[in-house]
Structure 1
Amino acid sequence: MNTFLEKFNTKYNSAPFSQIQLSDYKPAFEACIAKAKQEIDCIIHDTKAPDFDNTIAALDFAGQELDRLSSIFFNLNSAETSDEMQKIAQEVSPWLTEFSNDITLNEDLFKRVKAIYDTKDNLSLTVEQQTLLDKKYKGFVRNGALLNEEQKKKLREIDTQLAKLKLTFGENVLAETNNYQLHVTNEADLQGLPEGAKEAAADLAKSKNVEGWIFTLDFPSYLPFVTYVDNRELRKEISIAYGKKAFQNNEFDNQQNVKDIVRLRHERANLLGYASHAHFVLEERMAQSPEKVQSFLNDLLEKAKPAAEKEFAELTAFAKESDGIEHLEKWDGAYYSEKLKQKKFNLDDEKLKPYFKLENVLQGAFTVAEKLYGITFKEIFDIDKYHEDVKTYEVVDFEGNLVALFYADFFPRKGKRNGAWMTSFKSQFIKNGINERPHISNVCNFTPPTKTKPSLLTFNEVTTLFHEFGHGLHGMLANTTYPSLSGTSVYWDFVELPSQIMENWCYQPEALALFATHYETGEIIPQEYVDKIKESANFLEGLATVRQLSFGLLDMAYHGKPQPIEDVKKFELKAFESTKLYPDVTENCMSTSFSHIFQGGYSSGYYSYKWAEVLDADAFAYFEEKGIFNKEVAAKFKEYVLSKGGTEHPMELYKKFRGHEPTPEALLKRAGLV
């Protein structure tokens, strides 16, 4: 019996993880693709004249079993993968690309869509229906519907190659992360490292049957090491290892993959009539053009660079004065930043961590959501999980109606990629009068509990949890008719608004009082710490801003204009010229592990983080003005931002919430850059 080919006999139709066999996937993909093709054929061969319901809406609801299967499979391939699973991913990805091309390159289907699109002004459609019609029509055109047969064939080849290359890129980064470990046997080499991080490293060594301490390139292991360990040589070693992932001329090297992905993306864009991949992508973004993005990034850089240079000079002087360091290197950055922060604010993560027990912080995020949006979270134990670390929650409104299922997966492990993300196992939509509720997941990599301590978060991890939870709320509170417009299915430079605005509550005394209590004494975080958190919020903000802008500029350099890349490292250095502060490290290259743009969906979109910061600073200013738990502002944010998904142009939705377009002033003010 194949789990995916039966109806899930589970509570809330949740994924039956424990029943899934790896051998189920390939036959399930074959069967679900065949079924989706039949559904598409029914639309094409419908004898009735094409109209919105029998073509556009039918198309949006076609292939739902395939969508569900894909979301389960690819989510697990990120959070709980294995060599065998990666092999399956390499096999099925081309099938999915081909199926997607079979739809968008089908002339008969496109004719039906075009017939409706051409008469759209005579149809009395809702705003959501108009948006869906535009999206479907553009989806065909942007994926080759107007090409001739030879060009269509070429497009299929490019798409198949790109699907495989992106997977390989990610697999190489994961392999390089897993292949490195720093084994320390002399405790004196760990001088400065907090006890919790040391204990976690000892536990890891023990699990591998070796003496001493083991550190890896997983963020909860790597970051405390480079932030606190006094031994500069060891910081250098692990820092270089981190920076040279997939840049070692070995079997996991990504240099050729970077070149191939960039070249194929440009070829694809040109084939479709666009000047570059960035022109293609940005047509469907709030920013609209590479020129606008470039000018947005450069304007911010102009304002942030003087502050960054001043901060870098201060950090350099501090390192020289403290330890006689003549030249500040990349492996010194986190270390001396932390020392300077302690000196200036007498505040360090080790003082704060006891107040940020993971369970309390998560409960805090739940309470903030309850106060703002009237939803409650209850842990349940009768939902299947894909790993014992995962916790499952039922989310209901004040009337007791199901809002969503929520999965939380917070600790690193071998089959899980680095980083933090939100995803969904089942979309929200309304069909036959039933509002199908979504199944949403937050995946992070926080420090796991040890024998003596629970999982205690750094303040940075607290904001990460709130950030991903903001994405989660965007998914959970979705309330649209059509699945492809639901939840986070919005322009990518709008998708970060719900996540980034949530981070603001982490700095508010009123919100911190809800969850920042000492894990041993229960004492609420002292007001002086809260004041210092707020005071230090802009600490080295210039450097942080320039770093983010450098990634955005690198992304635009790759995708903004077609150009041959002979040497990935040289190309990267040129793109970083205007933002360079630290000396270059010869062995390192950021591009070869820049998963956001080469594996994830951020190509030509990395600027979105800064763009969304403009939106979030402006939006949160509204909350501050009326009260951070103001019901009226929260209701407007829920109605126009969180529940509407991609049913309307984001700028229109934002203006309905805020009353005006956002301006960068609130961001610059908050960041202390004006």
Structure 2
Amino acid sequence: MDNPLLNMTGLPPFPALRPEHVEPAIDAVLEENRSRVAALLAATDHYAWDSLVAPLEALEDRLNRTWSPVSHMNAVVNTPELRAAYNACLPKLSDYATEMGQNEALYAAFRSIAEHAGFGTLDPVRQRIVSNALRDFRLAGVALDPERRERFRAIQQRLSTLTSKFEENLLDATHAWFRQVTDTAELAGLPDSALAAARQAAATRELDGWVFTLEYPSYFAVMSYADHRPLREAVYTAYVTRASDQGPHAGRWDNGPVMEEILALRHELAQLLGFRNYAERSLATKMAPDTGAVLAFLEDLAGRSLAMAREELDELHRYAREHHGLERLESWDITYCSEQLRRHRHQLSQEDLRPYFPEPRVLEGLFAVVERLYGVRAELQPGVDTWHPDVRFYRLVDEAGEVRGQFYLDLYARAHKRGGAWMDECIVRRVDAQGRVQVPVAYLTCNFNAPVEGRPALFTHNEVLTLFHEFGHGLHHMLTRIDHASVAGINGVAWDAVELPSQFLENWCWEPEALALISGHHETGAPLPPELIRRLRAARNFQAGMQMVRQLEFGLFDFRLHLEYDPARGARVQEILDEVRAQVAVVAPPAFNRFQHSFSHIFAGGYAAGYYSYKWAEVLASDAFSLFEEEGIFDAETGRRFLRTILERGGAQEPMELFIEFRGREPEIDALLRHNGIAA
């Protein structure tokens, strides 16, 4: 069989990729890698960068490039056949990673490089790669006895299966539920954009009327605007019980047992490596010095935010009573009443802004902002093979005419596509043995409403923020100047610093100079009027206290789950969540709420015992942006300095060193508090 996964030289040939190609390709690459590693180790007993580390990086890169399109398609065009092929490879990839991490001869070879007199003459980037590798060998269990090694391998294999299962349960539960509406009375309050999308969803299912789903744009529209309280309650109930033992599909895709087993195995894994718990294991590759520092950071922010959050909730209760006759505010009323209160106080709704953020203008403006800051322009490249007709492909070109990176842009929600928004790597920058530069390629994925009824896709301001956030990650990946894949772009970056470029870029979405570039009425082209800009900025910190404690709830819940795991007591998922809510939350959800069953960031993503990273990195992002507030938001010199010190350096240096090089000092929390309207 001619296998396109094995014959790739450039971009993945997505239309040619079939589920039956996946397992044979991975088997072939893993077999070839194993034999090549053995040959490298046998070739000499004096190991050096060029004879060992560089060839190993080439092997790892080929494996990543083979797997990347498979993993990506599994997330964005999921089918039963592709899912089966993907899952069949997970244990094989896990086994291979553990086998390499526990390879004593390989570990000894890296140690010999680090201990050789010539190590000090290697450039600092190569020294860091070798040091990282030695750390990662230890974290892979290279020092364990054979019995414990085997247990470590079994745990890793099982965890790769369980995290995939968590995501599959969530995907299936999300797409299994919908609500058909044929009575127009139930549609009161919903904006035209939501109704058009719901009509299209009904037509796709060959149903009359309107269909609302649990895809985020549909869910958010109902929760924010639907006057009909029973509709809000039905959609809320289905959404917060996805993949759980509660709600309309109770028990069908229940992630409860999956979470229990994941947490038990992570704890056992950490203890095998000599850590007391998985939170300690998580911090081995992060900026935060220890678990106490993380808890103190989150609890300090909670202490600064709680009073403000409680005042905001009290105000919401008063407003709901006086203006909507709601004596008791239920969870399905919070978003709706908050939106009504925002309108009442600021004469502003997300829907008021949507006509001013048509997709073509937003993209054009985003690219203009990036060009002003970093001197790179985005150019659409037609005719590139993709996995769906809606996907587009661009390249980034700098002022010298060099192609610095390329990216796929997949913006719209659809069936068989994972929810949320993310950036992922397709190809990582590296320079090969012949001196050829491998241009980095990113996947940029969102879940916005598609164009309907002849209009372009119209974004809310929140969606514009999401797009800027993911593009910030993409720039970190694409603009790197590091020549070694393991520390190029986001690779090798401490996870609690990786959100710096993404959260940083969001700031331009609030600035009048930038809003002039990213907004323009979809019918008239008129920019966002100054009065709307004033109201948007005035409403920036609307309920910022409530939003802050919500994020702190997620961060503390995640961290304590992994810090306090006790095999004798089990995971105590609901118990710990209830305790955290008693400590920092101001909104108490109903007993049937199972938010944790869809918390894929920590159960299926890279944020286990690391969700605090969003707030940790927001301190860095806010402080970095404050320099632009001082120098001018489009100050070219400051923009190029951020490019040189943060975006181009990837994981080649400690994040704190890079931040100090950019800012001239260590980060301070004042800008974060100011940007969130919380008194310092």
Contact 2:4-2:16 within 8 A present in 1 as well: no
The whole-number CA distance in structure 1 between the counterparts of 2:370 and 2:119 is 42
The CA deviation at 1:582 is 2.1
Does the aligned pair in 2 maintain the 1:411–1:447 contact within 8 Å?
yes
Matched, 1:584 2:617: no
Displacement of 1:534 after TM fit? 1.1
Which amino acid is the alignment partner of residue 556 of structure 1? F
Report the counterpart of residue 313 of structure 1 in structure 2.
314
1:532 partner amino acid: R
For the residue of structure 2 that corresponds to 1:393, the secondary structure is strand
CA contact (8 A) 1:596 1:603 kept: yes
> Do 1:373 and 1:635's aligned partners in 2 also have CA atoms closer than 8 Å?
yes
**Which residue in 2 is equivalent to 1:351?**
352
Contact 2:107 2:137 in 1 (8 A): yes
Secondary structure at the residue paired with 1:183?
strand
1:536 counterpart residue number = 539
Residue aligning to 2:224 = 227
**Aligned Cα RMSD in Å?**
1.3
- The residue number in structure 2 matching 1:75 is 72
- Unmatched runs of 5 consecutive residues or more in structure 1: none
Which of 85, 103, 108 is equivalent to 1:106? 103
The structural deviation recorded for 1:672 is 1.1
Q: Is the 8 A contact 1:61 1:482 kept in 2?
A: no
Gaps of 5+ in 2: none
Deviations 1:34-59 (A, max 9, x none): 11112211221122401233233332
Partner residue in 2 for 1:34: 31
1:3 counterpart letter in structure 2: N
State the AA in 1 paired with 2:517. Answer: L
Distance in 2, matches of 1:223 and 1:5, equals 38
1:566 CA drift (Å): 6.0
**Does the aligned pair in 2 maintain the 1:640–1:654 contact within 8 Å?**
yes
The aligned residue for residue 516 of structure 1 is 519
Give the equivalent residue in structure 1 for 2:558. 555
Find the counterpart in structure 1 of residue 407 from structure 2. Answer: 406
CA distance in 2: counterparts of 1:96 and 1:139, whole angstroms: 16
1:205-264 per-position Cα deviation (integer Å, ceiling 9, x unaligned): 011111111001100110011100011111011101110011125231011111100110
Structure 2: how far apart are the matches of 1:327 and 1:581?
15
CA deviation map 1:451-481 (0-9, x unaligned) = 1422100110010011101111111101112
Structure 1 residues 540-579: Cα deviation after superposition (integer angstroms, max 9, x where no partner): 0000000000000110121112223365333321232212
Deviation at 1:114, TM superposition (A): 1.7
Matched, 1:628 2:630: no
Question: Take 1:329 and 1:90, find their aligned partners in 2: how far apart are those partners?
Answer: 40
1:501 aligns with 2:504: yes
2:119, 2:127 within 8 Å by CA — same for their partners in 1?
A: no
Structure 1 position 409, deviation (Å): 0.2
**Residue 652 (1) aligns with residue 657 (2):** yes
Q: Does the 8 A contact of 1:422 with 1:472 survive in 2?
A: yes
Read off the aligned partner of 1:510 and give its amino acid letter: E
Q: Distance in 2 between matches of 1:140 and 1:646?
A: 18
Amino acid paired to 1:610: K
> Structure 1 residues 350-359 or 596-605, which shifts more?
350-359
* Whole-Å separation in 2 of the counterparts to 1:122 and 1:174: 48
Residues 314-329 of structure 1 aligned to structure 2 (within 5 Å): 314-329=315-330
- Where does residue 155 of structure 2 map in the other structure? 158
Question: 2:648 maps to which residue?
Answer: 643
Match of 2:674 in 1: 669
SS where residue 172 of structure 1 aligns?
A: helix
What is the Cα deviation at residue 412 of structure 1?
0.9
- One of 7, 11, 21 as aligned partner of 1:24: 21
Instruction: State percent identity of aligned pairs.
Output: 37
- SS for the counterpart of 1:444 is strand
Q: Which position in structure 2 is the counterpart of 1:180?
A: 177
Q: In the aligned structure 1, how far is the partner of 2:586 from the partner of 2:6?
A: 57
Q: SS where residue 441 of structure 1 aligns?
A: strand
The match for 1:256 is: 257
Return the alpha-carbon distance in structure 1 between the equivalents of residues 55 and 292 of structure 2.
Answer: 37
Distance in 2, matches of 1:451 and 1:511, equals 29
In 1, are the aligned partners of 2:504 and 2:624 still within 8 Å (CA)? yes
* Alpha carbons of structure 1 residues 207 and 136: separation in structure 2 relative to 1, 3 Å: same
Distance 2:232 2:622 in 1: 35
- What's 1:459 paired with? 461
1:483-526 superposed Cα distances (whole Å, 9 cap, x missing partner)? 11111111111110100011000011111111211110111110
CA distance in 1, matches of 2:656, 2:70: 34
Alignment-mate amino acid for residue 501 of structure 2 = P
Displacement after TM superposition at 1:120 (Å):
6.7
Q: Does 1:244 align with 2:241?
A: yes
Query: Could you say if the C-alpha distance between residues 628 and 31 of structure 1 is closer, same or farther in structure 2, counting changes exceeding 3 Å?
Result: same
Name the count of aligned residue pairs: 671
CA offset digits 1:378-431 (Å, max 9, x no partner): 111121111001011122112322111111000111111100001121111112
How far residue 125 of structure 1 moved from its aligned partner, in angstroms, is: 1.9
Indicate how the Cα distance of structure 1 residues 2 and 415 shifts in structure 2: closer, same or farther if over 3 A, else same: farther
C-alpha contact (below 8 Å) 1:375/1:395 kept by paired residues: yes
Amino acid of the residue matched to residue 27 of structure 1? P
Residues 578 and 120 from structure 1, CA distance in 2 versus in 1: closer, same or farther, beyond 3 angstroms? farther
SS of corresponding position for 2:274: coil
Tell me the amino acid that sits aligned with residue 353 of structure 1.
R
Q: Do 1:196 and 1:453's aligned partners in 2 also have CA atoms closer than 8 Å?
A: no
CA contact (8 A) 2:561 2:573 kept: no
Q: Report matched runs for 1:32-181 at 5 Å.
A: 32-119=29-116, 123-181=120-178
- Contact 2:430–2:437 (8 Å) recurs in 1: yes
Q: Which amino acid aligns with 2:130?
A: L
The answer to whether residue 480 in structure 2 is matched with residue 478 in structure 1 is yes
Contact 2:471/2:502, CA 8 A, preserved across alignment:
yes
Note the C-alpha offset of 1:354: 0.6
C-alpha contact (below 8 Å) 1:420/1:464 kept by paired residues: yes
Tell me whether 1:268 sits opposite 2:284 in the alignment.
no
The Cα shift of 1:435 comes to: 1.8
Which of residues 594, 598, 611 in structure 2 aligns to 1:606?
A: 611
One-letter identity of the residue aligned with 1:323: H
SS in 1 for 2:447: coil
* Rounded Cα–Cα distance in structure 1 between residues aligned with 2:117 and 2:519: 54
- Give the TM-score, by structure 1 length: 0.98
One-letter identity of the residue aligned with 1:585: P
Q: Indicate the larger mover: 415-424 or 14-23.
A: 14-23
| CA deviations over 1:310-358 (Å, ceiling 9, x no partner) | 0000001100111221221211111011111111111112211111001
| Helix, strand or coil at the partner of 1:4 | coil
2:190 to 175, 186, 193: 193
Q: Quote the residue 2:574 is aligned against.
A: 569
Structure 1 residue identity aligned to 2:663:
R
Would you say the 8 A contact 1:39–1:63 is kept in 2? no
Amino acid across the alignment from 2:78: T
Secondary structure at the counterpart of residue 63 of structure 1? helix
Find the counterpart in structure 2 of residue 211 from structure 1: 208
Cα–Cα, structure 1 residues 485 and 235, in superposed 2: closer, same or farther, change >3 Å? Answer: same
CA distance in 2, matches of 1:46, 1:654: 42
